[in-house]
Amino acid sequence: MHPNQTVQRRRRLAKGQMPFAVVFSCIDSRVPPEIVFDRGLGDLFATRTGAQTADAVALGSVEFGPDETGTPLIFVLGHEACGAVTAAIESIRTNTPAPGHVQAVVDALRPAYDIAVGQSGDMVDNMVRAQTKLTVAQRKNEPGLAEKIKAGRLMIVGGRYSLTTGRVELIA
């Protein structure tokens, strides 16, 4: 429906924003959160890294919405056929370091790899799901965020986007 994409909306938002959700998702060109969730200007805070891996800067960016404007939802979004996950599996399996700073993404995916490698089925998809669930669990344990959840002011959930169907399935 392409909501909130008019010139009037843009002008109104110049005075301030109050997005209703934070989306923490992958850099993948096929998964822009505003298009996946059919939203427009001022609707979402979006933090995007390879396979929604987190370092301190990314986490600070995710927490910005709940801390500064009271954003009531953090949605961690993994997706089908994640290239970052696929590259990490290749790097770990062959014990070949990824080029440059890509290695930092591989390192951050190691815990999800360790979970997925023991599961049956599709390794990439298992690892996408593991990474999403781990990220949700870790965010829920962040003291500042845990306090907001307890007070009923924040929800943190995780989903998997299907490139094939365009649907997001809640998985955490």
Residues that bind Zn ion (CB under 5 A): 26, 28, 82, 84
Nearer to Zn ion, 8 or 165 (CB): 165
| Whether the Cβ atoms of residue 108 and residue 62 lie closer than 8 Å to each other | no
Q: What is the 3-state secondary structure (H, E, C) of 52-115?
A: HCCCHHHHHHHHHHHHHHCCCEEEEEEECCCHHHHHHHHHHHHCCCCCCCHHHHHHHHHHHHHH
Nearest approach, Cβ of 159 to Zn ion (angstroms)? 13
Nearer to Zn ion, 62 or 82 (CB): 82
| Whether the Cβ atoms of residue 137 and residue 172 lie closer than 8 Å to each other | yes
Nearer to Zn ion, 130 or 145 (CB): 130
Nearer to Zn ion, 71 or 131 (CB): 131
CA-angle at 52, arms to 47 and 57, nearest 5°? 55
Nearest approach, Cβ of 63 to Zn ion (angstroms)? 22
Nearest approach, Cβ of 79 to Zn ion (angstroms)? 6
Nearer to Zn ion, 18 or 163 (CB): 163
Nearest approach, Cβ of 128 to Zn ion (angstroms)? 8
Nearest approach, Cβ of 161 to Zn ion (angstroms)? 9
| Whether the Cβ atoms of residue 89 and residue 127 lie closer than 8 Å to each other | yes
- Rounded Cα distance, 13 and 54, in Å: 29
Tokens (6 digits) for 171: 């998985």
